[in-house]
Structure 1
Amino acid sequence: MFRSQVVAEHLPLLRRYARALTGSQASGDAYVGAMLEALLQDPTLLDEQHGARAGLFRLFTRIWNSVSVNGGADEVPTLAPTERRLTNITPLPRQAFLLLSLEGFSEDEAAFVLEVDIAEVRRLSGIAGREMAAEIATDVLIIEDETFIAMDLESLVKNLGHRVIGVARTHADAIALAKTKEPGLILADIQLADGSSGLDAVNELLRVVEVPVVFITAYPERFLTGERPEPAFLISKPFQPAMVSAVASQALFFQRNSRNREPRAAAS
């Protein structure tokens, strides 16, 4: 019998992982949907050797790496052509890096999910780390009202080679700072202490500038329901530095590749 309660418990974080791989809510949810369909047809596909969560991620990975879904075939019409190209440029090393850094799996669990040995997980993660370290440095706007968290984020992004144009503690501060210098990346808390919304501030900024955004919140489950447009890149509080690094690099990765394809798309 299909264990819906087990899936429901772990589905929000699986959807977060899926959108981090694809760069969009629609694509990520399409792959999760394909996994759920496979599980409904054959519940024995869920291997719980390392727990239900790892089993779901393992099954998702099989779907993700399958030719019929990830190769741009017509079997998944909900994926737009542009989104299919995005999925094709996401390598196995990035999966290993995200499993360890974003989802907090142990090396043993990540090896189970990817169906490789621990040595291979370490090798793949190392490749992704070097790739992400080569990302072009950018100007970062931080929207965060908690002083110590803001200081941690500022120190973290500087250590990653980025520049911080400022820390905004309110909606109004964020708009004012963005006017002084256009950010290349935004790290934003969703609910600010003065009652204003980091989400509203970001939406206002996105009307005039195209910039990748990573949202940080203590209540990620509120934004992983599938009932409305949701942030593509989401970090839970409290966070680990490696998680911020991984998600920020993913956001910049997809932004960079999207821009790199624009001249070719215009010429075709």
Structure 2
Amino acid sequence: MSLGQELAPHLPFLRRYARALTGNQTHGDAYVRAALEAIVAAPGDFPRDVDARLGLYRTFQRIWASTNADDPADTVIDDGESESIAQARLAQVTPRSRQALLLTAMEGFTSEDAGYLIGLTASEVDTLVADALAEIERHTRAEVLIIEDEPIIAMDLETIVRDLGHGVTGVAVTRDEAVAQAMAQRPGLVLADIQLADDSSGIDAVKDILAEFSVPVIFITAFPERLLTGERPEPTFLITKPFQRSTVKAAIAQALFFDLQTVPA
């Protein structure tokens, strides 16, 4: 199997990580493209002492570090207003803390592997993750709409949201119900499943909501391939079921971190 074939299954998830790290699909994809170009230009430099996924993320991290993207002043966000807000929040969370949080909670790397990727020990990674979650939670607050037709999962998500200090505007189980609830009380964040109770689509529900107002969205689904297609737009935040509570917490923190409408705590 060629190196390209080994890396291909991991690219959608690297794009997810890059978008979450930058808060922007265009710039996240640009860093992924730069990493791939570096691999093509010097395939002999690709880490072969680790598995392909770890080597891919390691190459990405090297590109990210070489562009000084860890400096909050250089972080690329969508526009001037969001840039100033994101910079203020970034000042509260160190760059390595954000990376440690995303690599472990969202990408599923062990603390040891995350440490390999960013040059730290496992215990240092664990400390950074705890610090990042605590700091972001102190600086963001939102009302959350949950679109989920499985009662147990919906209850679990609601508990996670409230434990983080956020409110819940409601739980919707169909497309029409989700849109109606969003119009009645505009949420500051949406957690959405794809496949809903009446065979309607959470994707369509989110499209309807976004046609009316802007709001960050986190898709939580057992069918990530329906969204990680390489076409635009792709969701910045995507969690695969079954999920870990820490993964949901990390995604919520990161989504609100880059959102203009989030109320400072």
Q: If the TM-score is normalised by the length of the shorter chain, which range does it land in?
A: 0.7 to 0.9
Question: 2:140, 2:263 within 8 Å by CA — same for their partners in 1?
Answer: no
In the TM superposition, what whole-angstrom CA distance separates every residue of 1:79-99 from its partner, at most 9, and x where no partner exists? 976598869947221000111
Other-structure match for 2:12: 12
Question: 2:172, 2:181 within 8 Å by CA — same for their partners in 1?
Answer: yes
Distance 1:84 1:47, change over 3 A: farther
Q: Which shifted more, 100-109 or 110-119? A: 110-119
Other-structure match for 1:119: 123
Q: Secondary structure at the match of 2:139?
A: coil
Provide the rounded CA distance (Å) in 1 between the counterparts of 2:176 and 2:261. 31
Once the two structures are TM-superposed, the CA of residue 42 in structure 1 deviates from its matched residue by 0.7
Amino acid aligned to 1:60: F
Other-structure match for 1:37: 37
Once the two structures are TM-superposed, the CA of residue 207 in structure 1 deviates from its matched residue by 2.2
Q: Secondary structure at the match of 2:239?
A: strand
Aligned with 2:182 (options 178, 185, 188): 178
Once the two structures are TM-superposed, the CA of residue 127 in structure 1 deviates from its matched residue by 2.3
Other-structure match for 1:75: none
Question: 1:19, 1:27 within 8 Å by CA — same for their partners in 2?
Answer: yes
Q: Which shifted more, 103-112 or 224-233? A: 224-233
In the TM superposition, what whole-angstrom CA distance separates every residue of 1:13-41 from its partner, at most 9, and x where no partner exists? 11111111111221111110000000000
Alignment of 1:1-268 (within 5 A): 3-67=3-67, 89=90, 91-256=95-260
In the TM superposition, what whole-angstrom CA distance separates every residue of 1:166-211 from its partner, at most 9, and x where no partner exists? 1100011112212331111110112213121111111111222221
Provide the rounded CA distance (Å) in 2 between the counterparts of 1:23 and 1:171. 26
Amino acid aligned to 1:13: F
Aligned-residue sequence identity (percent) comes to: 50
* Structure 2 segments unaligned to the other structure (5+ residues): none
Question: 1:2, 1:39 within 8 Å by CA — same for their partners in 2?
Answer: no
Amino acid aligned to 1:140: V
With the length of structure 2 as denominator, give the TM-score of the two structures. Answer: 0.87
Distance 1:71 1:94, change over 3 A: closer
Distance 1:87 1:137, change over 3 A: closer
Amino acid aligned to 2:202: G
Q: Secondary structure at the match of 2:258?
A: helix
With the length of structure 1 as denominator, give the TM-score of the two structures. Answer: 0.86
Once the two structures are TM-superposed, the CA of residue 256 in structure 1 deviates from its matched residue by 3.8
What's the C-alpha RMSD, in Å, of the aligned pairs? 2.9
Other-structure match for 1:263: none
Q: Which shifted more, 112-121 or 179-188? A: 112-121
Distance 1:246 1:141, change over 3 A: same
Amino acid aligned to 2:36: L
Other-structure match for 1:264: none
The aligned length equals 257
Once the two structures are TM-superposed, the CA of residue 154 in structure 1 deviates from its matched residue by 1.0
Amino acid aligned to 1:136: T
* Structure 1 segments unaligned to the other structure (5+ residues): 73-77, 261-268
Provide the rounded CA distance (Å) in 2 between the counterparts of 1:228 and 1:190. 17
Distance 1:242 1:139, change over 3 A: same
Question: 2:140, 2:262 within 8 Å by CA — same for their partners in 1?
Answer: no
Once the two structures are TM-superposed, the CA of residue 223 in structure 1 deviates from its matched residue by 1.5
Q: Which runs of 4+ in 1 moved over 3 A?
A: 68-72, 78-90, 256-260
Question: 1:70, 1:84 within 8 Å by CA — same for their partners in 2?
Answer: no
Once the two structures are TM-superposed, the CA of residue 259 in structure 1 deviates from its matched residue by 9.4
Question: 1:46, 1:52 within 8 Å by CA — same for their partners in 2?
Answer: no
Provide the rounded CA distance (Å) in 2 between the counterparts of 1:24 and 1:62. 19
Question: 1:50, 1:109 within 8 Å by CA — same for their partners in 2?
Answer: no
